[in-house]
Amino acid sequence: MTMIAGALPSDLPCERPASLFPWQDRPTDCADVVWRHAANPIIPRRPLPGVQGVYNSAVVRFGDRYAGVFRLEKTTRFPLLHAGSSPDGLTWNIEPEPIEFVGHDRDPADYAYDPRVVRIDDNYLVSWCGGHNGPTISLARTRDFRRFERLENAFLPFNRNGVLFPRRIGGKYFMLSRPSDDGHTPFGDIYVSQSPDLTHWGVHRLVMRRGGERTGQWWQRTKIGAGPIPIETADGWLMIYHGVMDTCNGFVYSMGAALLDLEEPWRVLARTDRHVLTPEADYEVSGHVPNVVFPCAALLDAPTGRLAMYYGAADTCTCVAYAHLHELVAFVKDHSAVF
């Protein structure tokens, strides 16, 4: 087992309380609705020998601890998925070998990156961008984060940012995605699709278009993509997403948020007219791909409304930011844009 930042081995019992939740109060000199973990990055640049980066990864609560599926790149820079475990959501063990999927013969050219994880019923479902004649949305399920069963790919190439909703809606599974191309995709809008069985997907509906010159939404004018698993609230599904703008120095990835209708999640109820987090810290503006804040996971402590959001910084390291759920929802409603 590979150790990162003093984490405990995943096969040892956790002696810390089950109520342990990754959290830091907002600094007294900060008025932002989202603020950074003071000890970011929680998984730093080159965390292990021969490992170039761990970022754009997904975590969930798993019993009295946390589990994760991580995008890990060794010095070949070829991305694969690795399982991980943590007692507190901040210190992580990451398996040194990539996940081997049951019932699937892996093609050496089958890359895997930017995973999301959600629990639905008794299964944890993993979605990610997999390489099958170009990027598409791949799926797997697990119950213990040791044995992963590969499912059929959800869509044809080219597609990215596949994000499942945490429960069925009208008896159907729903998944957000961003149809794309085979390159770095200098365009992109968010769609939602339905499935009765996680195999057959259809009823594809547009959810949100990117901003642009007409709306003045330059921070999200190039492309947008769903981030963490949507969070169900009384005001709708809270969808945290990334918005991208093109600049003379390349793309800049920021974090935004929107509220979607609970029963018709292709209907946008509100959407921020400004980002809630943008690359400013040194570890966000400098790295393998500068100026990237890429959210992939969020943990909610329901009794307190505390929200811990995990994001990749500069395609290099893993970071955490915090918010109070009610404040973030109110911010979306109070600063909603018309598109």
* Phi, psi for 275 (deg, rounded to 5): -75, 160
Tell me what the pLDDT averaged over the chain comes to: 93
Smallest CA-to-CA distance from 193 within 210, 172, 166, 170 is with 172
CA 326 to chain centre: 20
CB atoms closer than 10 angstroms to residue 119: 16
User: Span 279-288, mean pLDDT?
Assistant: 98
User: Span 163-167, mean pLDDT?
Assistant: 99
Domain residue ranges in the chain:
51-334
pLDDT band at 339 (very low <50, low <70, confident <90, very high): confident
User: Span 254-262, mean pLDDT?
Assistant: 98
Smallest CA-to-CA distance from 138 within 166, 167, 117, 122 is with 117
Tell me the pLDDT tens digit for each residue of 68-95: 999 999 999 999 999 999 999 999 999 9
pLDDT band at 29 (very low <50, low <70, confident <90, very high): very high
User: Span 242-266, mean pLDDT?
Assistant: 97
Q: Tell whether the torsion through CA atoms of 73, 76, 81 and 83 is positive or negative.
A: negative
Distance CA 91, CA 87 (A): 7
Q: In this predicted structure, what is the pLDDT of residue 214?
A: 81
Q: In this predicted structure, what is the pLDDT of residue 232?
A: 98
Tell me the pLDDT tens digit for each residue of 108-154: 889 999 999 999 999 999 999 999 899 999 999 999 999 999 999 99
Tell me the pLDDT tens digit for each residue of 35-76: 999 999 999 999 999 999 999 999 999 999 999 999 999 999
Smallest CA-to-CA distance from 268 within 256, 277, 278 is with 256
Q: In this predicted structure, what is the pLDDT of residue 183?
A: 92
pLDDT reading at 8 higher than 50: no
Distance CA 13, CA 40 (A): 27
User: Span 291-305, mean pLDDT?
Assistant: 98
Of 10-19, 137-146, 226-235, 260-269, where does mean pLDDT reach its minimum?
Answer: 10-19
Helix (H, G, I), strand (E, B) or coil at 219: helix
Angstrom CA distances, 116 to 8, 247, 280, stand at 23, 28, 25
Q: In this predicted structure, what is the pLDDT of residue 107?
A: 83
Residues ≥6 apart with Cβ < 8 Å to 194: 172, 173, 174, 201, 202, 203
**% of the chain with per-residue pLDDT over 70:** 94
Question: What is the CATH code of the structural domain delimited by 51-334?
Answer: 2.115.10.20
Of 12-16, 100-104, 163-167, 259-263, where does mean pLDDT reach its minimum?
Answer: 12-16
pLDDT reading at 5 higher than 60: no
Distance CA 310, CA 231 (A): 14
- Work out the end-to-end distance of the chain between its first and last CA atoms, rounded to an integer number of angstroms: 49
Q: In this predicted structure, what is the pLDDT of residue 337?
A: 81
pLDDT band at 19 (very low <50, low <70, confident <90, very high): low
Helix (H, G, I), strand (E, B) or coil at 331: helix
pLDDT band at 241 (very low <50, low <70, confident <90, very high): very high
pLDDT band at 216 (very low <50, low <70, confident <90, very high): confident
Q: Tell whether the torsion through CA atoms of 162, 188, 296 and 30 is positive or negative.
A: negative
